[in-house]
Amino acid sequence: MKNMYAILLACAAIACVSCATNSAECSGDKTGCAVNNAQKSAAKPATTPAEKSSDTGKSTVVYTEENSRPVVYIWGQCARGNACQEPQNMGKRMFLRNVSKPKMELFLTGKPGSGFVVICPGGGYSFLSMKNEGYEIAEYLNSLGVSAGILCYRVPDNTQGALMDVQRAIRIVRANAKKWGVNPDKIAVMGFSAGADLSARISTQYNRDWYEKLDGIDRESARPDATVLVYPAYLDAQMYRMRWVERVREDLQVRDYTQDYALSPHLNVDKNTPPAFIVQTLDDKSCKNSSIAYFLALKDAGVDANLYYCDKGGHGYGLAARKTDTMVSMWPKLLAKYLQISGFLPGQK
């Protein structure tokens, strides 16, 4: 994999334009876009703050170690206050299901002043794609000198719980910045597919308390300093309606560009929204407008944004190590440049 990265050329974000299909399902690994039977029962994303709920109780953070790696249980107990389900790790692709005790697996570089990236794997809010959208991403960020944490947020079918989890995770990182050798002003959130939706949600709704504050950690800001979205889902109004409201596919042959690129109503972009680095391809089918909608909303709000939009790649490709014959395979190298320019690498001021 390192050899592959070595031959990639850093360049500015470009748009690779070609014809695309108008099919309504995502291709590739389908980790979050296709509306399938497992997803249809999922709850609609929250648009108002949570009640002062017993969902998180009075639990505290638990710091421990698993498989020789530091792990943070962000609520210290089952987030719903009920008996924990045993998570299921399914197959070689490591799809993690039944997460009721959210945790963050830490990949710390030990290099003072490093930035930190909270990684949100995709999976349609039904499971978490831990291998190609979790561990491989954290290892790549570490190779750049950037610390990371893989967030195992609540699944299945708990979009509001997931939002609580990522908000708490960002605050935990900021509260532990000195201890972990992390720059508290360089904490990013990064997501893939549904995890990108979660990343966009916290990036636009960080200033609301989505759970009852528990301790001093919750005095920390939950605003990410940057947002990285890779083949995001559900960010445009059309896909939002299809996934969460109407549950039916629309005829994408009928073009209404105003509607195509309207931002999803569960996102609130303004001038204080964090800057973003976004990756998507034309053949991502029903997901392909998500990145454009978010980019245009950032542009209109005067927020810095970089959109790397290519012709081919599909969905669910992670670092795109197997996509070397496509332009999208260059996105990890472009991300490295973006993180450098944004001051996330160790030793930068």
Per-residue pLDDT of the chain (349 residues; tens, 9 = 90+): 444 333 333 333 333 333 333 333 343 343 333 333 333 334 456 555 543 333 444 547 999 999 899 999 999 877 744 456 666 666 667 899 999 999 999 999 999 999 999 999 999 999 999 999 999 999 999 999 999 999 999 999 999 999 999 999 999 999 999 999 999 999 999 999 999 999 999 999 999 999 999 999 999 999 999 999 999 999 998 887 777 676 655 555 555 666 779 999 999 999 999 999 999 999 998 899 999 999 999 999 999 999 999 999 999 999 999 999 999 999 999 999 999 999 999 987 6
Has residue 257 been placed in a domain? yes
Has residue 348 been placed in a domain? no
Has residue 15 been placed in a domain? no
Range of the domain at 210: 2-8+24-341
> How many domains would you assign to the chain?
1
Nearest to 109 by CA among 172, 173, 180: 180
The one-letter code for the residue type at 57 is: G
Looking up tokens 């990639």, which residue turns up?
8
Tokens representing 2?
Answer: 């390192």
Has residue 195 been placed in a domain? yes
CA–CA distance from 138 to each of 133, 144, 177, 322 (Å)? 9, 10, 18, 18
Has residue 95 been placed in a domain? yes
pLDDT of residue 18: 34
Has residue 127 been placed in a domain? yes
Q: Is the pTM of this model over 0.95?
A: no
CATH number at residue 182: 3.40.50.1820
Instruction: Give me the helices (H) in the chain, please.
Output: 2-7, 136-143, 159-175, 177-180, 194-205, 237-240, 257-260, 288-301, 331-341
Has residue 212 been placed in a domain? yes
CA–CA distance from 41 to each of 49, 157, 209 (Å)? 22, 7, 26
Nearest to 99 by CA among 146, 134, 67, 70: 134
DSSP 96-109: EE-B-S-EEEEE--
Has residue 346 been placed in a domain? no
